[in-house]
Structure 1
Amino acid sequence: MEENIEEKILVTEYTEENIRTLDWKEHIRRRPGMYIGKLGDGSHSDDGIYVLLKEALDNSIDEYMMGYGKTIEVTVVDGKVTVRDHGRGIPLGKVIDVSSKMNTGGKYDSKAFKKSVGLNGVGIKAVNALSSFFRISSFREGEEKTAEFERGNIINDYPISETEHDNGTLTEFIPDDTIFKDYHYLNEHIEPLLKNYVFLNTGLSIIFNGKKFHSKNGLVDLLNENMTTDPLYPIIHLSGDDIEMVLTHSDQYGEEYYSFVNGQHTTQGGTHLAAFREAVARTIKEYYSKNFDYADIRSGMVGAISIKVEEPVFESQTKTKLGSKDVGPDGPSVGKFIGDFVKRELDNFLHINHETSEILLQKIQDSEKERKAIAGVTKLARERAKKANLHNRKLRDCRVHLNDLKGKDQEESSLFITEGDSASGSITKSRDVNTQAVFSLRGKPLNSFGLTKKVVYENEEFNLLQAALNIEDGIEGLRYNKVIVATDADVDGMHIRLLLITFFLQFFPDLIKKGHVYILQTPLFRVRNKKETIYCYSEEERISAINKLSPNPEITRFKGLGEISPDEFRHFIGKDIRLEQVTLRRNDLVKGLLEFYMGKNTMERQNFIIDNLVIEEDVA
């Protein structure tokens, strides 16, 4: 017994030999999440390969913001990314340093880059370290310097030579496929990124694979591009030194905002967005000299705020949330800077544009009227939800939530919305109790199209779902990063999906617009022989599996989630999970979309179904 204890002490001994210092590239490659967030394979817009592209682009954008180079060319072909700007070019003697030495960059000198995005001298080094091939060339006054790297290791250091190229920088990289497994760039995720850059930098042109992106109206173009409901009045557009804002209202429920700092899309907001929401509501309330509730003023509000600050403090390397309290070392607080601007400019605008101020007043009064009409129902529903939450049989919660103040894995928190006991039972037995919760529906939910928000409180299931998600007052407190609709792949299952998406689009459109809603893809078939089992998600996959496992494999058709055993299901919501994100495009006007699919146009919809009907043959 004593020998075993001695042996254990030796194994866990902690000495100087246990202390290691990683060089810059090894640290990035071992801990990529610290530098670029999640990895992913390119299926989602926040996957790491798009962060690499953004990091390469940010340096070119900073050049434009300093007044150099009006055009940036971006090409993405077969996984290889090229970014060419026409700015000043990196000083030739520092090309290798800025791409391979941590804490080296021009952004530390605020004279050269006063209000830039890339401040930590890290971004381009992360691109270098996480690429199987990385090439950087600088062109300055007829001279060129090029260096090539492989996974952060320099492989070619070319001498300075003469060139006929215009001034600027050329960056090329191929993401390392040992880190980004089976990655693929999707234009549908690249183009919104590039559009945001031109919306925020009026006059800049970005040419992507030959397609030109340019904006004349700045943030007005951004709102027009992203709004899926018609504005009630023309978009208010106000700008000043280092600040630009746009604002309107629509008939949608909730609020919708886009916020930016030094050209960086702060998807999680921060001090500037909080100040903007507060200042706009306060200014409007004071303009009408009425004791309006802030919630009524903000209901249906759609806006965007862009500010430029010196030495911004972000809450992570991926710069999705601003933490800065001040706009610069000697400047006012972010709150005062935005508050003073909004008070002065928005108040003046409303005094001058009476037609807009009258429409806005009517919208606020309508929101107030509706809120008061359902106040009694709301109070009862909240009390009911509070009691139900203590013993809520519908919700089998997890331990980790998106809105946790501390902890880890918040981004992995998910809520599966299922229908029926068998389906919820399979998922409940198979799930990861740390990050996966289950909400069980009883049959088909109500078709909420055309109904007011009163139904959210009157309908027990909707009320409990709203409480489980914690979205009554907006999605800032959302408890789960992924809201996953998990229904059977049959007609009833499809109908339930439509009803749930209708509910979210009607009352909580930001859930979908911010990319939180997904459909769980589950296998339709299992094809197996004595040696191998293949799960198939389509008819094509089934045929391929039959050919591979022939002759005479066993074929099982899964008609419902409840038919899949918990042991099998564990893979389909774990390492092999397939999720399809529910997204909205600019031309998907919500009102028209819901009217067609969920309204009373029975014949029009019936003809559409008949024209698009796919008859699935039974599997023998």
Structure 2
Amino acid sequence: MAEQTKYTEDNIKSLDWKEHIRMRPGMYIGKLGDGSSADDGIYILLKEVLDNSIDEFVMGAGKTIEISIQNNRVIVRDYGRGIPLGKVVDVVSKMNTGGKYDTKAFKKSVGLNGVGTKAVNALSNYFRVESTRDGKSVAAEFEMGNLVNEEKLDETSRRKGTKVTFTPDEVIFKKYKFRMEYIERMIKNYVYLNPGLTIMLNGEKFYSEEGLKDLLGDGINEEDRLFPIIHLRGDDIEVALTYSKSQYSEEYHSFVNGQHTTQGGTHLTAFKEAIVKTVREFFGKNYEPSDIRKSISSAISIKVMEPVFESQTKTKLGSTDMGGDKPTVRTFILDFVKRNLDNYLHKNTETAAKLQRKILQAERERKDLSGIRKLARERAKKASLHNKKLRDCRIHLGDVKKEAYLDTTLFITEGDSASGSITKSRNVNTQAVFSLKGKPLNSFGLSKKIVYENEEFNLLQAALNIEDSLEDLRYNNIVIATDADVDGMHIRLLIITFFLQFFPELIRNGHLYILQTPLFRVRNKKETIYCYSEEERRNAIKKLTGKPEITRFKGLGEISPDEFKHFIGDDIRLDPVMLDKEKTIEELLTFYMGKNTPDRQEFIIDNLRLEVDLVEEIEDEINKS
């Protein structure tokens, strides 16, 4: 019989605030990551600091926020009231200390539990806070949450406000890199939700006058809108919506108290219900909800007293009440949309007619597809019983009560050897593998019918659970894992085309990535270094000295499962697939997948890397060594 471990007073430990945050960062900022994903921890740190500055603007103090990000050092400066000088150190280093417990001061604040800036402090190797008010200034500097310096100025000419400087700790966030595309998107959302606010990012100005109308206007160009954007505003609520002429799927942006609720919640559920209810009653027809909402592009923002979120990262609203003397979230949104959208449609008969034609078109398409959808679902159901294409994982994106849900990943691979290596080395809790059989079909210009007719596309759609919307998406990260050769690149392009054509919001919402895999292995008897570029290979040779053994990986199938676990674990390198903000999806697809135009030929020639010479040079070196 195994000896029982003794459980005594010695087993009970009390960690101080910073030790607990550093030991369990996921409880405070969600996942860690290296900056390749929009919800990685380094962006949450920035958001936590920014939220405090935004709250100052909301309270009427300070119309400009300045952000500087250089060499991983972040500076956020606002011109609000400034932290009370006697509490500067406490506010950033004592848990459950803050100015937002008193609802008189911050009625509809995002950060209510006094954790945000403490987490930033504890998870930064350098953190400085400086507050100026009443002609006086106090500053404090910390390293990993430990106070190392404090400054007090009785007289200063600095403008009032708060300035926070921090550098995320590389011990916690390994090999991280800020991607400005994600930060720009975050800042745009802040200005859309706070018309009149100016945010300067490294000298570039972000500003919005028309709020959510500007958000949709920036996301869907005028030619692709079925009708002008409907923009409705009320006390504690703002709504914008239109329909896309070319997009199949539904698209929603939802916010609570300025927080982007990427996973929706009670407010988004009520908003979708309200649109269906209002449209049905306006036309006096019991249209199917999916027909009413097909191709919708919309946004909703509400303000709630003391909101309840389902996690510290506040991505899903759990509140059922608006707070104060207001009704439930559902009733509040249903009443607002019913009254205002109904009025708008009565006043704008041309828009109402276009909407009805769109619904009838969606109804016809659904009925045309009904037979093939039924067959496709039956095929997918049979395939799932003995599906060799999908090796699923245990945790999925909807499992919000499990801490690892944000790490859920589906690898899309080509061929048996590559998928076999990933399958054997993956984390079975959070990583799933979908194996392609050869090159997928080029879906450019095809209708959604092909998604059901093509078994591979249908099974991929079923694995992701995105047939009707992204709401039930099963994996946070969808990673294309193909060889870095011509065939592998072509497969990547075909998969990206599939998602752009039928599920563009997957890409817009930052779910699609390319897996980086090493090109070389450089090793001696003591150490092995995996290199992702020629520069890394040369550095590795210098580091290992002598004549290290150099191996060039020609495909994923050549990498053993024991080695593969290094490339899809903590040190995984992902390149996010992002849309060019200057081009529409139709323009992108036409350029890359349409007929071979002179423009594309010129692009290929200009961007072609002459790798043959490089490969020959490397192989010569390998043979000599």
Per the normalisation by structure 1, the TM-score is: 0.94
Matches within 5 A, 1:367-516: 367-404=362-399, 406-516=401-511
What is the CA–CA distance in structure 2 between the aligned matches of 1:193 and 1:559, rounded to whole Å?
A: 39
| 1:363-389 CA distance string (max 9 Å, x none) | 212211111111100111111111111
Partner of 1:117: 110
Matched, 1:240 2:234: yes
SS of structure 1 residue aligned to 2:609: coil
Partner of 2:247: 252
What is the CA–CA distance in structure 1 between the aligned matches of 2:88 and 2:551, rounded to whole Å?
A: 59
Contact 1:419–1:440 under 8 Å retained in 2: yes
Q: Tell me how far 1:33 sits from its aligned partner.
A: 1.4
CA separation of 1:508 and 1:491: change in aligned 2, threshold 3 A: same
Greater mean alpha carbon deviation, residues 486-495 or residues 428-437: 428-437
What is the CA–CA distance in structure 1 between the aligned matches of 2:544 and 2:105, rounded to whole Å?
A: 64
Contact 2:30–2:403 under 8 Å retained in 1: no
SS of structure 1 residue aligned to 2:521: strand
Matches within 5 A, 1:167-178: 167-178=160-171
Partner of 2:552: 557
> Partner amino acid for 2:17?
W
> Partner amino acid for 2:310?
E
Matched, 1:322 2:317: yes
What is the CA–CA distance in structure 2 between the aligned matches of 1:461 and 1:428, rounded to whole Å?
A: 19
> Partner amino acid for 1:144?
S
Matched, 1:263 2:258: yes
What is the CA–CA distance in structure 2 between the aligned matches of 1:586 and 1:61, rounded to whole Å?
A: 26
Q: Identity of counterpart residues, as a percentage?
A: 68
What is the CA–CA distance in structure 2 between the aligned matches of 1:26 and 1:436, rounded to whole Å?
A: 29
Q: Tell me how far 1:606 sits from its aligned partner.
A: 3.7
Matches within 5 A, 1:213-224: 213-224=206-217
> Partner amino acid for 2:308?
V
Partner of 1:599: 594
Partner of 2:58: 65
Contact 1:227–1:586 under 8 Å retained in 2: no
1:190 to 163, 183, 192: 183
Q: Tell me how far 1:530 sits from its aligned partner.
A: 5.0
> Partner amino acid for 2:535?
E
CA separation of 1:371 and 1:330: change in aligned 2, threshold 3 A: same
Q: Tell me how far 1:547 sits from its aligned partner.
A: 5.2
Partner of 1:206: 199
| 1:329-353 CA distance string (max 9 Å, x none) | 3221111111111111111111111
Q: Tell me how far 1:529 sits from its aligned partner.
A: 4.7
CA separation of 1:88 and 1:238: change in aligned 2, threshold 3 A: same
Partner of 1:18: 11
Contact 2:482–2:488 under 8 Å retained in 1: yes
Contact 1:134–1:173 under 8 Å retained in 2: yes
CA separation of 1:366 and 1:548: change in aligned 2, threshold 3 A: same
> Partner amino acid for 1:263?
G
Contact 1:515–1:581 under 8 Å retained in 2: yes
Contact 2:38–2:510 under 8 Å retained in 1: no
Partner of 1:298: 293
What is the CA–CA distance in structure 1 between the aligned matches of 2:134 and 2:525, rounded to whole Å?
A: 70
Greater mean alpha carbon deviation, residues 437-446 or residues 335-344: 437-446
Per the normalisation by structure 2, the TM-score is: 0.93
What is the CA–CA distance in structure 1 between the aligned matches of 2:511 and 2:238, rounded to whole Å?
A: 28
Partner of 2:583: 588
> Partner amino acid for 1:89?
G
| 1:78-124 CA distance string (max 9 Å, x none) | 33222222222222222232222222222111111111111111112
Greater mean alpha carbon deviation, residues 572-581 or residues 243-252: 572-581
Greater mean alpha carbon deviation, residues 424-433 or residues 49-58: 424-433
SS of structure 2 residue aligned to 1:574: coil
What is the CA–CA distance in structure 1 between the aligned matches of 2:382 and 2:109, rounded to whole Å?
A: 50
Contact 1:92–1:160 under 8 Å retained in 2: no
Q: Tell me how far 1:595 sits from its aligned partner.
A: 1.1
Q: Tell me how far 1:132 sits from its aligned partner.
A: 2.7
What is the CA–CA distance in structure 1 between the aligned matches of 2:312 and 2:603, rounded to whole Å?
A: 47
Q: Tell me how far 1:155 sits from its aligned partner.
A: 3.0
SS of structure 2 residue aligned to 1:572: coil
> Partner amino acid for 1:238?
L
Unmatched tracts of structure 2, length 5 or more:
621-625
What is the CA–CA distance in structure 1 between the aligned matches of 2:23 and 2:539, rounded to whole Å?
A: 37
CA separation of 1:611 and 1:281: change in aligned 2, threshold 3 A: same
Q: Tell me how far 1:503 sits from its aligned partner.
A: 0.8
Partner of 1:133: 126
Superposition RMSD in Å = 2.2
Partner of 2:43: 50
SS of structure 1 residue aligned to 2:478: strand
> Partner amino acid for 1:247?
L
Q: Tell me how far 1:186 sits from its aligned partner.
A: 3.1
What is the CA–CA distance in structure 2 between the aligned matches of 1:141 and 1:430, rounded to whole Å?
A: 60
Matches within 5 A, 1:28-47: 28-47=21-40
> Partner amino acid for 1:154?
L
